[in-house]
Structure 1
Amino acid sequence: MDIDKTLHDEQRIMRMMRKTLTSIVRDTAPRDGNPSPLTEATVLGIKDCLVVISNREVELARLTGRTLEERPHYSDEKPSAHVVKLSSIPKKTH
């Protein structure tokens, strides 16, 4: 199996797990003065899992040459940066 595909699949799995855990936290957050249905041990377990997921996402980004700053964009969106080849810049002559 292709190592890049394996790493990208793992990135997808980490993202899914993070989103699911944060949805559980959001859905079970105390409301209207009602206590959380989650025990303190469960809350700590979720926090520990999110730390492990976050650390692995950083490792996977490093291994695949990506950054965690990447965000989706529209296909017709203008890029915020423009790449310029150094060879296209004229040299100054004194």
Structure 2
Amino acid sequence: MDEKALHDEQRLMRMMRKTLTSIVRDTAPRDGNPSPLSEATVLGIKDCLVVISSRETELARLTGRTLDERPHFTDETPTSHAVKISSIPKKTH
């Protein structure tokens, strides 16, 4: 599978996951009202999300990406800093 097809599939998986989770959030029981979704539908959504998650993991591995990538604000304090290798003193014996 070529790189563009992998990225298109990643985009599709992300869209399906977001849509399903939005449906769950929008139909969540509120104020003591029962959920409008049947138990079978809830289980079907859970199964779909597991399949999507598994495929997202496979696609991340195929494209060399990690799943722990998160957006960062430009003014956010970095949790680490880079050190130039040339600045490390050489060990003398």
TM-score, normalised with respect to structure 2: 0.85
Which residue of structure 2 lines up, in the alignment, with residue 27 of structure 1? 26
* Runs of 4+ off more than 6 Å: none
Gaps of 5+ in 1: none
Identical-residue share of aligned pairs (%): 83
User: C-alpha distance in 1, partners of 2:37/2:69?
Assistant: 33
Q: Which amino acid aligns with 2:22?
A: S
User: How many angstroms does 1:32 deviate by?
Assistant: 1.0
Q: How many residues of Structure 1 are paired with residues of Structure 2 in the alignment?
A: 93
Cα deviation 1:62-85 (Å, max 9, x = unaligned): 000000111123456665444445
In structure 2, stretches of 5+ residues that fail to align are none
The structure-2 alpha-carbon separation of the partners of 1:3 and 1:76, relative to structure 1 and needing over 3 Å to count, comes to farther
CA distance in structure 1 between the aligned counterparts of 2:89 and 2:78, rounded to whole angstroms: 24
CA RMSD of aligned residues (A): 2.0
Amino acid at match of 1:65: G
